[in-house]
Copies of this chain bind each other. A is one copy, B any other.
Amino acid sequence: MAKHFDTQALDRYFAAMADPTRRAVLERLTQGPASVSELHAPHAMALPSFLRHLRVLEEGGLIATEKQGRVRMARIEARPVRAAEDWLAQLRRQWETRLDRLDALSEALEQTAKGDAP
């Protein structure tokens, strides 16, 4: 039942998400592709510093970029976001399944108690 996840990929995905600048870039990119300058504009940070964030996102496969003339355009990539979401969902489901079993168990015990009562 449990899906296999690429551990190193998850490392990179989650690490990429663990920064507000990078999350903001992803949110911006949900509205469509943008150039490096456009993405950089809202962030009070030197361009080289910002570019580093973009590279982290790209190396993590969260975005793809392509150079057109002197402009580099970036767009969001679907799969990694889904992979991270799936991992969390699976974690939650495992946990909920266990809680359900505990519920079932305590109900069963209750029944048994009634049956066994003197």
Kindly state whether residue A17 has any CB partner on chain B within 8 Å: yes
A7 x B20 contact (CB < 8 A): yes
A103 an interface residue at 8 Å Cβ cutoff?
no
Inter-chain contact A92/B85, CB cutoff 8 Å: yes
Copies in the complex: 2
Q: Determine the chain B residues whose CB is within 8 A of the CB of A92 once the complex forms.
A: 78, 81-82, 85
Q: How far is the CA of A91 from the CA of B28 in the complex (A)?
A: 10
Cα A87 to Cα B27 in complex, Å, equals 10
Interface size of A by Cβ–Cβ distance < 8 Å? Answer: 32
- Say yes or no: B94 contacts A88, CB within 8 Å: no
Question: Given contacts A30-B94, A88-B85, A94-B30, is CB(A14)–CB(B20) below 8 Å?
Answer: no
Besides A13-B18, A81-B95, A85-B92, 14 more A-B contacts (Cβ < 8 Å) are A7-B20, A7-B23, A12-B18, A17-B17, A23-B87, A27-B94, A29-B95, A30-B94, A31-B98, A32-B98, A76-B95, A78-B92, A81-B92, A88-B88
